[in-house]
Amino acid sequence: MTEQLFAQHVTLHQLKVLEKGTGKLQQIPEKLLQQINQLPEQPQAVLLKSLTALSDALAELEATRQMLLIERQRYQEMLEASPIGYIETTLEAVVLEANLSAAELLNTSQKRLIGKSLAIFIMPGDRDRFYTQLTQLQDAQAVKNWKINLQRRRGVTCLTVATVIPVLDKQGKITRLRWQLQDISDRQHTLEALRHQQIKCRSIFENNVVGMAILNRQGYAVESNCLLQEMLGFSPRKLQQNPFAKLINPKKPSPQETLLQQVLSGQRSSYQIEERFIHKEGQILWLRITCSLIQSSENKSPLVTCVVEDITQIKANNSQLQGVGES
Cα Rg of the chain, angstroms: 40
Contact between 162 and 179 under an 8 Å Cβ cutoff? The reply is yes
Q: What is the mean pLDDT of residues 181-186?
A: 83
Q: What does residue 98 show for φ and ψ, rounded to 5 degrees?
A: -155, 140
Tell me the C-alpha distance between 317 and 299, whole Å: 46
Q: Which residue has the higher pLDDT, 228 or 170?
A: 228
Tell me the C-alpha distance between 150 and 118, whole Å: 9
- 134-157 pLDDT tens trace: 888 877 778 888 888 888 766 678
- 23-68 pLDDT tens trace: 444 444 445 545 555 555 455 566 666 777 777 788 888 888 888 7
Beta bridge partners of 293: 304
Tell me the C-alpha distance between 231 and 316, whole Å: 18
So what's the pLDDT on residue 323? 60
Q: In what order do the strands lie in the sheet with 304-310?
A: 221-224, 211-215, 304-310, 284-293, 270-278
The closest of 147, 174, 161 to 91, measured between CA atoms, is: 174
Residue 107 has what DSSP assignment? T
- Confidence band for 322, pLDDT divided at 50, 70 and 90: low
Tell me the C-alpha distance between 207 and 201, whole Å: 10
Q: Which residue has the higher pLDDT, 23 or 124?
A: 124
In the chain, the percentage of residues whose pLDDT exceeds 70 is 78
| Largest separation between any pair of C-alpha atoms in the chain | 143
Tell me the C-alpha distance between 94 and 253, whole Å: 74
Tell me the C-alpha distance between 221 and 289, whole Å: 14
Evaluate the CA torsion angle 42, 45, 46, 51 in order and state its sign.
positive
Contact between 217 and 301 under an 8 Å Cβ cutoff? The reply is yes
Whether residue 242 is predicted with pLDDT greater than 80 in this model: the reply is yes
- Confidence band for 16, pLDDT divided at 50, 70 and 90: very low
CA atoms within 13 Å, Cβ hemisphere of 281: 7
- Confidence band for 21, pLDDT divided at 50, 70 and 90: very low
Q: Which residue has the higher pLDDT, 23 or 235?
A: 235
Query: What is the average pLDDT value for the chain, to the nearest integer?
Result: 79
- 197-223 pLDDT tens trace: 888 888 888 888 899 999 998 889 999
Whether residue 10 is predicted with pLDDT greater than 60 in this model: the reply is no
